[in-house]
A and B are shown apart, each in its own frame.
Chain A
Amino acid sequence: MSALLEVDDLRVEFDTYGGTVQAVRGVSFELDRGQTLAIVGESGCGKSVTVQSIMGLIPMPPGRITSGSARLDGKDVIDDKRIDGKDIRGRLVGMIFQDPMSSLNPTMTIGEQIAETLQVHRGYSHKRALARAIELIDMTRIPEAAKRARQYPFEFSGGMLQRSMIAMSLACEPSILIADEPTTALDVTIQAQILDLMRELQRDNGMAIILITHDLGVVARMADEVLVMYAGEVVERGSVDDVFYRSAHPYTLGLRAAMPSNRDDAAQELTPIDGSPPDLFAPPAGCGYFARCPHAMRACETEHPRAFELGEQHRARCWLHHEDCDVAADEVFRK
């Protein structure tokens, strides 16, 4: 069976006053049904642009998808967002965003905003759509759903709004839910509740989730597969165990070292990654991580590393895995 979503060599550029930014530089991945894929990386590494370009949400101009394809159920959706004559967005793919406070229309009731999707995609009457919206709100564990449906976003708390966003994105029972940093703007306690809710709904509906985050804790908790992005590229991908326990890219190591952990010695200091990502106006010829990498080699500066296959699903773009490399990759990564 082919994957639910296959993204191949996606490249996205933005024209700005300073020149052209190559925000996404050849990203490929697959997503299977019912699976959770986490995309991690620091701000500006192209995580959000990747999914937004699949969803047709990047403003064009200044944005531009220069190459690549995204096949949903085998049909390319990059140029045309429609399958069987209807928009895939909201129907086959739902999406929730980072800031629920600003992501909902302030002058429309929550119920109306949820019902809208059903009216457009399923052709429900206004009344029927509203009734279904109340059910959906109830499904996301918001008490007094019927009353809440008649309220406006400003009457909701952040966590409640994110629940409503989830209800809205799942209204048409999509096969994929894209969650772009869904918990970043929320309190820690609310974060856990939202993540639990997503997992529970996934279990019930069997949808796949693409979870964008820079929080490795969230990744460990939610993901089956992990995509580590750096400077617009996927530098490592694999199962959550591969990426966490058999990290194969120095950047992944750096991310892990910068993350607090309760397993290691509590007194251990967190190690930040020095420096900042490369300028994507003129991406380096070699490895994007070269300037910050503690294991940098001559080849890294000039030659772009290919993806080395390390396990069944495990890939990493790092010259340390080259057979001619003298430095024992095992030494570097067995920390």
Chain B
Amino acid sequence: MAELSFEPVRVEREVETISRPSLSYWQDAWIRLKANRRALISLYIVIGLLLFTVFGPFVWTVDPAAQDLDQISAPPGADRSATVVDDYAVWRGVTVDVPAGGSPPAAELLAPGAVSVHGPAETRAVRLAWDPVSGAAAYRVYRNILDPEPDGALGLPIADVLDPAQVSFEDRLDLKPLTYYYSVVAMDALGNESRAYRTVGVEVTRVITAAEAVAKGLVEDGDTLQPGDTLNLAAHPLGTDYLGRDLLARLMHGARVSLFIGIVAPFAFVILGIVYGSAAGFVGGRFDQLLMRFADFVVALPFLLFMILLRILFGVGAGESGIYPMMVAMVLLSWPGAARLVRGQILQIREEGYIGASRLLGAKTNYLVLRHMIPNTMGVILVTLTFAVPSAIFTEAFLSFIGMGVAPPTPSWGSMCNEGLKTMLTTPHELIAPAAFISITVLAFNLLGDGLRDALDARMRSAE
């Protein structure tokens, strides 16, 4: 053991000094929030969403109502090249001489010998001609996007050619750059179809004329374009919907509706709740009981049914949007939660020792309210507000989805989901994009709320 020294020493009593600077409530909360990775990321996402909503339309200036008929239900990243062609020229079709004579029953009719494509197959027109079937009184043309073999599923009947001399058909119906399978069936005089059919697979290319390109603003001067050139159509980063509207632009404008309702309505009802709850809490007694009993009644109203009832009451008809009525209804029905919370807080704080101490030191009511009551309820209120946002966004989406909220053509995330659902099986991106935005927003606000609750109020800390 080393030499021990038993010389008495005076120990500095440094234990009494406070080494850390004192922090205000909000500084402390901010430090704790920053330490919570999930909450911080959520905060960035929320800020990002707000920027997306407010400034997005200035950056991405596409009109959300403009229909790009060349690209309908185009998924994100779809090929958007188009070949430049000459102006459309009318096609007279192919006719043959049909010998006069009776038409045999449908069961005896054969399939056309061959179906051919006249000219290039383009998105503006596919021109079909077929070998006449002897005895046919008419022809029916089917179109499918899947090969009819082996099930014999011919797809949709797109035309009946009622003149047996006419053995051609020009399809100009909503063509996309896909492979189509056309089937031609002969019919008898009674309109019965033969069971025999002839199918041809046609790969359609997307085309655009110089004049159209100029009209769509794709090029300045149509003369620079030569037939056969390739041109890129308007970009749609997130694709288009079933009417060819740009999804990104619609999401931005939809966010303006959804987030506006989702943020402004909670603000309004939380403020109403604060006023109501603090009135009840301060006055107390019978008045308090009366107010709170009324709040209980409002809570008991079936929420979504009354959201819809109030919509009728405000005179919003079916198919109308009524964004403001929806907000008012939400405020009228949602305030009791915040009111109860604030009242509870005020009643609790009134009994706290520091209020009594402050009063003993001569503090006036105004001072007590401003210095003690409000700062000490702000945390709880902020947390309530944060959790109210996702449920308001859900409510908007839900109502719009069942057609009782924002109605087309006004975009909102909910109404976009409603429209997207219809094409879910073929083009799921129309549903996925708005649903993802709703989910991410709700998730971010929920996690931010968790983080705020942990940061602002140790007493409310979650067990997670």
Which residues of A come within 8 Å of B, CB atoms?
A: 274-276, 290-293, 295-299, 301, 303, 319, 322, 324-327
Contact = CB atoms under 8 A, between A and B. Distances in A.
B15 A324 contact: no
13 contacts: A274-B15, A291-B11, A293-B11, A296-B9, A296-B11, A297-B6, A297-B8, A298-B5, A298-B7, A299-B5, A299-B6, A324-B6, A327-B8
B6, B15, B16: most-surrounded residue (chain A CB, <10 A): B6
B16 A299 contact: no
Interface string B127-157: 0000000000000000000000000000000
Interface in B1-18: 1-2, 4-11, 13, 15-16
Interface in B284-333: none
SS class, residues of chain A in contact with chain B: loop
Given A275-B16, A292-B11, 6 more contacts: A275-B15, A291-B15, A301-B9, A303-B1, A303-B2, A327-B6
Contact of A276 (B6, B9, B15): B15
B4 A290 contact: no
A295 B4 CA distance: 15
Nearest to B16: A275
Contacts of B4: 298-299, 303, 319, 322, 324
A275 B13 contact: yes
Contacts of A297: 5-9
Interface residues of B, number: 13
A319 to B, nearest CB: 7
Contacts, number: 46
Contacts of B1: 303
Contacts of B9: 296-298, 301
Nearest to A325: B6
Contacts of A275: 13, 15-16
Nearest to B2: A303
A292 B13 CA distance: 8
Given A275-B16, A303-B1, A319 B11 contact: no
A301 B1 CA distance: 15
A322 to B, nearest CB: 7
A330 to B, nearest CB: 15
Nearest to B12: A291
A292 B16 CA distance: 12
Q: Which 5 A-B pairs have the closest CB atoms?
A: A298-B5, A275-B15, A299-B4, A325-B6, A297-B6
A20 B431 CA distance: 50
Nearest to A291: B11
Contacts of A324: 4, 6
Given A275-B16, A303-B1, A290 B11 contact: yes
Contacts of B2: 303
A276 B15 CA distance: 7
Contacts of A295: 8
A248 B340 CA distance: 59
Contacts of B5: 297-299
B283 to A, nearest CB: 33
Nearest to A275: B15
Interface string B1-42: 110111111110101100000000000000000000000000
Contacts of A322: 4, 6
Contacts of A327: 6, 8
A283 B8 CA distance: 22
Nearest to A295: B8
Contacts of A292: 11, 15
A276 B11 CA distance: 13
B18 to A, nearest CB: 12
Give the residue among B2, B7, B8 with the most A Cβ atoms within 10 A: B8
Contacts of A290: 11
Contacts of B16: 274-275
A275 B6 CA distance: 23
User: Considering residues A276, A290, A295, A297, which has the most beta carbons from chain B within 10 angstroms of its beta carbon?
Assistant: A297
Most chain A beta-carbon neighbours within 10 Å: one of B1, B2, B15: B15
A326 to B, nearest CB: 5
Nearest to B15: A275
Contacts of A274: 13, 15-16
Nearest to B1: A303
Contacts of A326: 6
Contact of A319 (B6, B10, B13): B6
A292 B14 CA distance: 10
Contacts of B10: 296
Nearest to A299: B4
A293 B6 CA distance: 14
A275 B17 CA distance: 10
A316 to B, nearest CB: 16
A243 B298 CA distance: 67
Interface in B169-214: none
Contacts of B11: 290-293, 296
Contacts of A276: 15
A243 to B, nearest CB: 24
A299 B10 CA distance: 13
Contacts of B7: 297-298
A327 B15 CA distance: 26
A324 B5 CA distance: 9
Question: Which has the most chain A C-beta neighbours within 10 Å: B2, B9, B10, B13?
Answer: B9
A153 B1 CA distance: 57
